[in-house]
């Protein structure tokens, strides 16, 4: 292993990362056990967070598509999900939907396993960069407890993007350091595989190789190796070259299957978004904040830190920057690199989500900066690795410094746990949870009558999610439910509580009383074809939209009739013999209804009835 130098080292010298051999075995074991205990304790806290959560927004889009689109189809795997390219995430969502449809326990397990894997990768990264030293535990506590990763963990759809990215950032950076030190190409193979998998979960994983390169190059730099960046390129060429090929192929696929969401015409909003993301989002987490969260259901919680915490966070950050530069050599580029990563994340947020219709609070949800926690861990590890400016020998153990560090870490942990508790208080107030629970029971109890498709509660998914806010999409994964059809003899709908209730049709337009006495409009299928009034005029025109027609009819026999508006598709409607009614969901418009029997010998009398939208009543289905 190359020795650390203060300058003028051989250009091919490897980063002098400490290894377990650099510390007494007993100390290394103690640090490993302490790190494991910290990770397990933090994971237990995240288990509580996951157990208090449930499906939210995009989660239902993923599960609904899993139930309605063939799994191994391009339409499923290459779907452009709001600008995201995430086939591996779709596969995991499909697995959860297949094994436990709309049951939260399996996604919760995925969250915990993903977080545990990411935490283990961070421990490995710290061990490689810093070596087995007690100070390693401080940045580890930051990562496993820092609230900046909390919102992205709790939201399953977001975690399917964020956790693989966090794992990849830590794993690939550590392997790149090992490759630079040993030249063993198995680390290059491992890194390429992990990068490919991460790219299949989240397009932001394109940054993984760049973070790995920066970690190696900055490690050389703080070690005093000459031409650090060039040396990092040379020593890890076995990684950078195949990774560049992977990124090129991935970019071609990504640009082919996704539509760009990048918009630069609202860059005037950038200062506001950056302020909310940085001052009200990221900076308070340096002290374990934000402590407080707000929420407007169905939006996710966002950080609302007290002003004192914001100021305190900036003071701590300024002190850390100034103190590290004053006491450590060559660490300024480390800070610049970390700031560049955060800035790139915020720029991506502004360009893809910062429209004039987006509220600044979006930036305070923290999920756009969650992966920055790993980069900040790398920052801390490299600063700890950097040599001190003072040439005076340092006491191996400074009781005052150890005590101060311990107090700071404990205070951060307590503050972070407080922020986690208050977050859960907001997050578990999710109207989707009781809605899904009630609907699951109500639908299972009333499977005998088909349901007309209709939007789910606005508190669950708003119309902007169309067509994925339909009941047929959300509840499609459930095996124990009524069928969704274009017609039904009884009009029912799920109310805002998820309970099945009776529903009525508004009289936007009306089918008038027809010209045939005691019949209305008569139409029948004779051996010579359809006879009678197949065109039923309405009392006014309808715009092209989704409408429901209430057909009050008398049928001579059971059979089928085709129903449509002037524009739109035809719906085949089963009718029963005798006096009955049926409710038909029609897409289209015009000023007439067209009814044609398709069953030979079927004669139909259609009476007056409304054509309009469906409104639930307060009467629950018995």
d(CA 226, CA 8): 5
Query: Do residues 427 and 365 lie in contact, with contact meaning Cβ atoms separated by under 8 Å?
Result: no
Which residues does 107 contact at the CB level (< 8 Å), separation at least 6?
55, 59, 96, 156
The distance in angstroms from the start CA to the end CA of the chain is 77
Run of H or E residues at 346: helix 332-353
| pLDDT tier, 397 (very low <50, low <70, confident <90, very high otherwise) | low
Q: What is the pLDDT of residue 16?
A: 46
| H runs (alpha helix) in 446-540 | 471-474
Q: Of the given ranges (35-49, 365-379, 446-460, 529-543), which has the lowest mean pLDDT? A: 529-543
Q: Which of 255-259, 354-358, 585-589 has the highest mean pLDDT?
A: 585-589
Pair 269, 350: CB distance under 8 Å? yes
Nearest to 329 by CA among 391, 380, 387: 387
CA distances in angstroms from 391 to 6, 220, 327, 329, 332, listed in the order given: 12, 20, 11, 11, 19
* Assigned token pair, 255: 């640009």
- d(CA 378, CA 274) in angstroms, rounded, equals 23
**Three-class SS state of 333:** helix
Quick check: 592 pLDDT over 70?
Answer: yes
87 band by pLDDT with thresholds 50, 70 and 90: very high
The string of pLDDT tens digits covering residues 97-130 is 999 999 999 999 999 999 999 999 999 999 999 9
Query: What's the topology of domain 509-620?
Result: Jelly Rolls (2.60.120)
- Residue 400's pLDDT is what? 75
Q: What is the pLDDT of residue 610?
A: 97
pLDDT band at residue 391 using 50, 70 and 90 as cut-offs: low
Per-residue pLDDT tens digits for 254-289: 999 998 777 777 788 889 999 999 999 999 999 999
Residue 7 pLDDT level (bands cut at 50, 70, 90): very low
- pLDDT at residue 534, rounded to an integer: 85
| DSSP label of 365 | G
Domain boundaries, the chain: 24-54+104-389+408-427, 509-620
User: Residue range 249-255: average pLDDT?
Assistant: 95
- 467 touches 473 (CB < 8 A): yes
Q: Which helix (H) or strand (E) holds 521?
A: strand 521-526
- The one-character DSSP state at 386 is S
pLDDT by residue (tens digit) across 607-617? Answer: 999 999 999 99
With beta carbons less than 8 A apart as the criterion, state whether 521 and 515 touch: yes
Reply yes or no on whether the pLDDT at 11 is more than 60. Answer: no
> Which residues, 6+ apart, have CB-to-CB distance to 186 below 8 Å?
none
Strand partners, 589: 567
Q: Check whether 366 has a pLDDT greater than 80.
A: yes
User: In angstroms, what CA-CA distances link 316 with 284, 366, 392, 408?
Assistant: 10, 19, 26, 11
- Torsions phi, psi of 452, nearest 5? -75, 140
Give CA–CA dist 407/430, Å, rounded.
Answer: 36
Give the separation between CA 195 and CA 36, rounded to whole angstroms. 25
Residue range 238-253: average pLDDT? 96
Q: Please give the biggest Cα pair distance in the chain.
A: 110
């Amino acid at each position: 292993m190359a020795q650390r130098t203060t300058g003028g080292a051989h250009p091919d010298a490897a980063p002098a990362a400490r290894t377990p051999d650099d510390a007494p075995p007993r100390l290394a074991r103690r640090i490993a056990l302490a790190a494991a205990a910290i990770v397990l304790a933090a994971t237990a806290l995240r288990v509580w967070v996951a157990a208090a959560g449930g499906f939210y927004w995009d989660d239902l889009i993923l599960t609904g598509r899993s139930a309605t689109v063939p799994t191994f189809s391009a339409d499923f795997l290459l779907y452009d999900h709001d600008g995201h390219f995430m086939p591996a995430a779709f596969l995991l969502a499909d697995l959860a939907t297949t094994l436990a449809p709309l049951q939260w326990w399996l996604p919760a397990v995925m969250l915990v396993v993903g977080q545990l894997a990411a935490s283990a990768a961070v421990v490995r990264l710290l061990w490689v960069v810093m070596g087995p030293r007690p100070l390693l535990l401080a940045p580890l506590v930051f990562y496993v407890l820092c609230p900046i990763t909390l919102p992205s963990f709790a939201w399953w759809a977001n975690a399917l993007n964020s956790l693989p990215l966090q794992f990849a950032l830590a794993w690939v950076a550590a392997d790149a350091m090992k490759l630079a030190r040993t030249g063993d190409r198995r680390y290059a193979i491992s890194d390429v595989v992990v990068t490919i998998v991460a790219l299949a979960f989240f397009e932001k994983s394109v940054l993984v190789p760049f973070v790995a390169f920066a970690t190696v190059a900055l490690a050389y730099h703080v070690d005093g190796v000459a031409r650090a960046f060039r040396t990092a390129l040379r020593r890890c060429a076995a990684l950078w070259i195949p990774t560049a090929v992977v990124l090129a192929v991935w970019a071609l696929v990504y640009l082919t299957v996704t539509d760009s969401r990048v918009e630069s015409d609202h860059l005037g909003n950038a200062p506001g978004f950056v302020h909310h993301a940085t001052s009200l989002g990221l900076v308070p987490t340096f002290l374990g904040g934000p402590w407080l969260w707000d929420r407007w259901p169905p939006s996710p919680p966002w950080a609302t830190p007290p002003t004192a915490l914001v100021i305190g966070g900036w003071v701590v950050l300024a002190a850390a920057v100034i103190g590290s530069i004053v006491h450590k050599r060559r660490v300024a580029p480390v800070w610049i690199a970390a700031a560049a990563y955060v800035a790139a994340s915020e720029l991506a947020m502004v360009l893809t989500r910062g429209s004039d219709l987006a509220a600044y609070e979006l930036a305070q949800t923290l999920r756009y900066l969650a992966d920055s926690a790993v980069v900040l861990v790398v920052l801390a590890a490299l600063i700890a690795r950097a040599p001190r400016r003072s040439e005076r020998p340092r006491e191996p153990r400074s009781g005052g410094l150890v005590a101060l560090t311990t107090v700071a870490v404990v205070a951060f942990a307590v503050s972070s746990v407080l922020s986690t508790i208050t977050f859960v208080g907001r997050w578990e107030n999710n109207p989707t949870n009781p809605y899904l629970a009630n609907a699951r029971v109500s639908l299972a109890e009333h499977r005998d009558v088909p349901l007309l498709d209709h939007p789910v509660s606005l508190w669950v998914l708003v119309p902007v999610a169309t067509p994925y806010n339909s009941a047929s999409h959300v509840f499609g994964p459930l095996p124990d439910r009524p069928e969704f059809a274009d017609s039904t003899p009884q009009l029912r709908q799920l109310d805002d509580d998820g309970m099945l209730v009776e529903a009525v049709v508004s009289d936007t337009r009306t089918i008038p009383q027809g010209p045939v006495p005691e019949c209305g409009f008569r139409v029948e299928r004779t051996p010579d074809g359809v006879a009678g009034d197949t065109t039923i005029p309405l009392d006014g025109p309808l715009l092209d939209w989704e409408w429901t027609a209430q057909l009050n009819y008398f049928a001579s026999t059971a059979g089928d009739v085709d129903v449509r508006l002037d524009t739109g598709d035809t719906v085949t409607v089963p009718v029963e013999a005798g006096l009955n009614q049926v409710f038909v969901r029609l897409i289209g418009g015009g000023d007439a209804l067209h009814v044609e029997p398709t069953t030979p010998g079927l004669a139909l009398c259609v009476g007056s009835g409304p054509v309009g939208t469906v409104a639930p009543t307060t009467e629950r289905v018995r």
